[in-house]
Amino acid sequence: MTEQTLNGSDVRYRAPYLEWAKTRPSAEFDLAGSNILPCSLDDLPGGREAIALWGANDNGYAPLMEAIAARYGAQASQVTTASGTSGANFLVYAALLSPGDAVLVERPGYDPLLGAARMFGAATIRFDRTFESGFALDPDRVRRAISPRTKLIVVTHPHNPGGVAADAGALHEIGRLAEQHAAHVLVDEVYLDATPLASSRGAIRGDVFLRTSSLTKSYGLSSLRCGWVIASEALTYRLRRARDIVDGTGSIVAERLGALAFQHLDRLNARAHQILRTNAHLVGEFLASRRDLEWVPSVGTVVFPRIRGVNDASAFAERLMNDTRTAVVPGRFFEAPAHFRLGYGGDTEKLRGGLERLAGALDAGGR
């Protein structure tokens, strides 16, 4: 392997945040993740018995697709299974994009949503969800960015990294704009089930929308990589044929366990909400005590504060890790370098310890 290959200079497509997340040092107090505290197999009654190496899942495991459809108000014929939400998003790009097309992607945003579009030869055009607006989804910004080349508009709900819900009226208007331009709207809902706003899915109606999610972030089941797309039947056919090329089928072991998880989803959801109620209270108290931080209230598993008077929080995040073994995500990975992302879906005592060390680092000079 050449030095050029080792330093990545000949890599055509990159997701800098994910590369950082996979290669960063292990933290004692990890506030960089956005998942709910992982479940154990004991949290999934019948899990050991459900493990089997056989089953028909050519177009997805039928019991899993039926469970997804029942849970989210769709038909099984509208469900495409995928490897996590990132895999689901990739299938949407693969099914809908051609070289020369344009994709509108929010900023700040999650970097794989940019890299995947580039892999298919599409241009990424940005529209802003600004701190000053509370990271609100603004249809006027989308209207100014859309063009005849636009084939897809990508929205996260709640916003990653801001943790702010998308307004139902704004989603409706963006759907109308997409229809006028023969485009579609991808709504990434991976954090939505962990919020009090899951019922807001009712605002997302019509064949113009594709909804992606998984059991990964909201239920503590990230290792299953159980994701899906819900779309019209016509688009679902295209998505399934895209999966034929991408990875053929999913893991029958994971899909059987995913189907079992749906039988216990209400209990797992209650577990997640209890963790978040406790942890969100701790984070809220911490943020309210800090005059050196500015933030927008979050409904998800992350919040995205910024340090007053600091243009780039990267050095602060690095020092926090080196000095205290506490990790947060530098905002530069979301194109908002003044910020850092703080996750609070994990272990409560680790969160408490991490916040104490974060406070100490800020007191020592958050620059």
Which CATH number does the domain housing residue 296 bear? 3.90.1150.10
Q: CA 49 to CA 259: how far, in whole Å? A: 13
- With a CB cutoff of 8 Å and minimum separation 6, the contacts of 277 are none
Residues 11 and 91 in one domain: no
Residues 186 and 285 in one domain: no
Asked, for residue 46, whether it belongs to a domain, the answer is: no
Asked, for residue 301, whether it belongs to a domain, the answer is: yes
Residues 346 and 221 in one domain: no
Last residue of a domain, one of 264, 298, 315: 264
Last residue of a domain, one of 241, 264, 287: 264
Contact 124, 147 (CB under 8 A): no
* pLDDT one digit per residue (tens) for the chain, 367 residues: 444 455 556 777 788 999 999 999 999 999 999 999 998 888 888 878 788 877 888 889 999 999 999 999 999 999 999 999 999 999 999 999 999 999 999 999 999 999 899 999 999 999 999 999 999 999 999 999 999 999 999 999 999 999 999 999 999 999 999 999 999 999 999 999 999 886 555 556 789 999 999 999 999 999 899 999 999 999 999 999 999 999 988 889 899 999 999 999 999 999 999 999 999 999 999 999 999 999 999 999 999 999 999 999 999 999 999 999 999 999 999 999 999 999 999 999 999 999 999 999 999 976 6
Q: Average pLDDT, whole number, for the chain?
A: 92
Residues 230 and 277 in one domain: no
Residues 130 and 277 in one domain: no
Residues 97 and 217 in one domain: yes
- Look at the chain and report how many structural domains it folds into: 2
Asked, for residue 70, whether it belongs to a domain, the answer is: yes
Q: CA 329 to CA 277: how far, in whole Å? A: 22
Residues 174 and 254 in one domain: yes
Asked, for residue 72, whether it belongs to a domain, the answer is: yes
Residues 76 and 157 in one domain: yes
Residues 182 and 319 in one domain: no
Asked, for residue 277, whether it belongs to a domain, the answer is: yes
Residues 76 and 164 in one domain: yes
Asked, for residue 44, whether it belongs to a domain, the answer is: no
- In this prediction, residue 203 carries a pLDDT of 55
Last residue of a domain, one of 210, 239, 264: 264
- With a CB cutoff of 8 Å and minimum separation 6, the contacts of 87 are 225, 227, 246, 247
Asked, for residue 45, whether it belongs to a domain, the answer is: no
- In this prediction, residue 2 carries a pLDDT of 44
Distances (CA, A) of 230 to 32, 128, 319, 353: 29, 26, 42, 39
- In this prediction, residue 50 carries a pLDDT of 80
Residues 231 and 121 in one domain: yes
Q: Which domain holds residue 329?
A: 3-39+267-363
pTM, two decimal places: 0.94
pLDDT tens, 8-42?
567 777 889 999 999 999 999 999 999 999 988 88
Residues 227 and 293 in one domain: no
Distances (CA, A) of 250 to 35, 88, 240, 305: 22, 12, 11, 37
- With a CB cutoff of 8 Å and minimum separation 6, the contacts of 230 are 68, 69, 72, 74, 78, 79, 210, 211, 212
CATH number assigned to the domain comprising residue 146:
3.40.640.10
